[in-house]
């Protein structure tokens, strides 16, 4: 508990984004969520351009530079949105491939941003890896650049044809959500796929918080559990955005939701606190356009998703706790699922598994392996139910995990059938695998993006320094004269300060007698 509180205090001293200010998550636009397909491209401006493109899960980005007063731009918008519908938003047929965005150059705050990309006509389309847009620009005189203009995308058909040519793909304007299973990457045997789950963990965290607020589940008998779970997230959530957002809420929690029931009702009615005020906070920040699952995406619309993301969240928390926190993390996790997971049957089954634990955990290893065992127990139970009712995901059937392909060293007997009800596990190897899988590998995509971003920043800084050095050439004689003058001025300034100090303290006031 002490290390959790220490981490909370450390994080609460960081610069946290004010809840009353700009903390509105950059998810799918409300109009798009309501079915209006005209708002699926993400609107960017100079304040969020770098952060969104740096943190998007997409492999590529298309940025449209336009002016709202331009008739051609207004006519082109429906064409651009037809393509955006395929890649952006909760109903995207192919999420995580391309971020479709736009910048209004007629907005005064975006003038310098548009100049950096040499925008000379509207609309102008640019293509490239998202992180290459961050802190960068484009110049037609540059021969080698990862950012390229799209010169043949004036209709939705032509733009999609251009994309298919670049990617060797066969995307179609008629593609529907989960309609093309051959495009869905299976993550059964590829360790690296878990890296994409960091976005799903953020999505699951945000969704869980939204559900809690929507159903007004914060009550006097549940608030302590929520506080403990958020403390766990502040210390061990794999996403820095979620750690900061959780800390931001915790710092203000007592004001937003007082523990006294009478005071709570009074504040909620008079000051708008309680669930409504908590809704102003974004627990995982605003940087990433969300609204779809990546690692946890099922081959059917109603499979995987949130439940998968929640499991990944719990596993990622478990591998980060320390030995002294293991029992607290266990009880906090059990209470959180029991009180806040809205599927009643699921939460009860989970709590029953918790109740069977009779000995307190003394190490993080015990907690990690218990959660892994519990997850496999749930998979076995659901596998039978889904098989009898036909409700499972055919591409991701429930199974004992990890598979031999994913972790061959986890199996003591390599000839043993994976479907066996009693597998001889090498628990040390399983523990090692879980730590790497939900630890370093899970956040590797973040680290890769940060590394690429830092390289771009360093390159830009070096270029700026070089330009400033070349622009200022001072003769040697003049340089010496400047240096001598600087020294003389410094000596004079020191003399003047000493004189002022002497004047200030020449007449010292009498010391007050301490009684």
- The C-alpha atoms of residue 444 and residue 99 are separated, in whole angstroms, by 20
Is 242 catalytic? The answer is: no
Cα–Cα distances in Å, from 462 out to 211, 459, 465, 467?
47, 5, 5, 9
- The C-alpha atoms of residue 119 and residue 109 are separated, in whole angstroms, by 15
Looking from the CA of 248 toward its CB, the CA atoms found within 13 Å total: 22
φ, ψ of residue 44 to 5 degrees: the values are -115, 155
Q: The tokens of 119 are what? A: 């925008």
- The C-alpha atoms of residue 132 and residue 208 are separated, in whole angstroms, by 33
Is 73 catalytic? The answer is: yes
Q: What b/e readout covers 129-155, taking b as 16+ CB neighbours within 10 angstroms?
A: bbbbbbbbbbeeeeeebebebbeebee
- The C-alpha atoms of residue 164 and residue 162 are separated, in whole angstroms, by 6
Whether residue 86 contacts residue 175, with contact meaning beta carbons closer than 8 Å, is answered with yes
- The C-alpha atoms of residue 77 and residue 72 are separated, in whole angstroms, by 9
φ, ψ of residue 128 to 5 degrees: the values are 170, 175
Q: What residue has token string 């636009």? A: 29
Whether residue 98 contacts residue 59, with contact meaning beta carbons closer than 8 Å, is answered with yes
Q: Three-state DSSP class for 66? A: strand
Residues whose CB is less than 8 angstroms from the CB of residue 144 and which lie 6 or more positions away in sequence, other chains included: none
User: Looking at 73, 242, 296, 407, which residue is catalytic?
Assistant: 73
- The C-alpha atoms of residue 240 and residue 11 are separated, in whole angstroms, by 10
Whether residue 414 contacts residue 92, with contact meaning beta carbons closer than 8 Å, is answered with no
Other beta carbons less than 10 A from residue 166's beta carbon: 13
Q: Please, what sign has the CA dihedral across residues 27, 344, 248, 245?
A: negative
Q: What residue has token string 């809840």? A: 19
Q: What residue has token string 């750690």? A: 243
- The C-alpha atoms of residue 44 and residue 30 are separated, in whole angstroms, by 16
Q: Three-state DSSP class for 148? A: strand
Q: What b/e readout covers 26-61, taking b as 16+ CB neighbours within 10 angstroms?
A: bbbbeebeeeeeebbbbebebebbbbbbbbbbbebb
Supply the residues annotated as catalytic.
70, 73
């Amino acid at each position: 508990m002490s290390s959790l509180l220490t981490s909370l205090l450390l994080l609460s001293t960081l610069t946290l984004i004010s809840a009353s200010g700009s903390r509105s998550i950059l998810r799918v636009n409300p109009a798009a969520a309501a079915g209006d397909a005209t708002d699926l491209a993400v609107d960017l401006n100079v304040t969020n351009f770098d952060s969104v493109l740096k943190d998007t899960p997409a492999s590529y980005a298309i940025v449209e530079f336009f002016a709202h007063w331009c008739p051609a731009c207004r006519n082109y918008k429906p064409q651009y949105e037809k393509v955006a519908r395929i890649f952006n938003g909760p109903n995207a047929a192919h999420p995580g491939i391309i971020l479709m965005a736009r910048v209004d150059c007629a907005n005064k705050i975006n003038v310098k941003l548009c100049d950096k990309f040499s925008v000379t006509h509207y609309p102008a389309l640019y293509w490239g890896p998202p992180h290459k847009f961050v802190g960068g620009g484009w110049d037609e005189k540059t021969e080698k650049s990862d950012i390229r203009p799209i010169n043949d995308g004036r209709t939705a058909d032509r733009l999609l044809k251009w994309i298919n040519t670049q990617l060797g793909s066969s995307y179609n304007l008629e593609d529907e959500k989960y309609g093309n299973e051959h495009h869905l990457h299976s993550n059964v045997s590829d360790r690296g796929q878990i890296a994409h789950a960091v976005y799903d963990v953020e999505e699951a965290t945000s969704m869980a918080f939204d559900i809690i607020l929507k159903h007004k589940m914060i009550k006097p008998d549940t608030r302590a559990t929520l506080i403990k779970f958020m403390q766990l997230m502040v210390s061990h959530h794999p996403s820095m955005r979620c750690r900061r957002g959780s800390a931001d809420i915790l710092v203000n929690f007592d004001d937003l939701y007082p523990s006294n029931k009478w005071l709570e009702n009074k504040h909620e009615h008079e000051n708008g606190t309680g669930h409504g005020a908590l809704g102003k906070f974004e627990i995982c920040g605003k940087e990433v356009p969300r609204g779809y699952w990546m690692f946890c995406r099922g081959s059917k619309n109603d499979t995987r998703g949130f439940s998968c993301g929640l499991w990944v969240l719990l596993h990622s928390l478990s591998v980060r706790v320390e030995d002294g926190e293991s029992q607290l993390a266990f009880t906090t996790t059990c209470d959180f699922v029991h009180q806040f997971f809205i599927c009643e049957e699921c939460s009860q089954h989970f709590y029953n598994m918790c109740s069977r634990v009779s000995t307190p955990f003394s190490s993080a290893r015990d907690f990690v392996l218990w959660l892994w065992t519990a997850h496999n127990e749930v998979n076995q139970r659901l596998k039978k139910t889904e098989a009898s009712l036909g409700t499972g995901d055919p591409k991701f059937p429930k199974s004992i995990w990890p598979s031999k392909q994913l972790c061959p060293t986890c199996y003591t007997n390599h000839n043993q059938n994976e479907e066996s009800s009693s597998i001889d596990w090498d628990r040390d190897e399983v523990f090692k695998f879980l730590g790497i899988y939900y630890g370093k590998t899970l956040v590797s995509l973040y680290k890769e993006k940060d590394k690429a971003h830092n390289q771009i920043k360093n390159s830009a800084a070096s270029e700026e320094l070089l330009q400033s050095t070349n622009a200022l050439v001072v003769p040697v004689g003049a340089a010496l004269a400047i240096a001598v003058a600087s020294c003389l001025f410094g000596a004079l300034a020191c003399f003047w300060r000493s004189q002022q100090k002497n004047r200030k303290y020449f007449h010292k006031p009498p010391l007050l007698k301490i009684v």
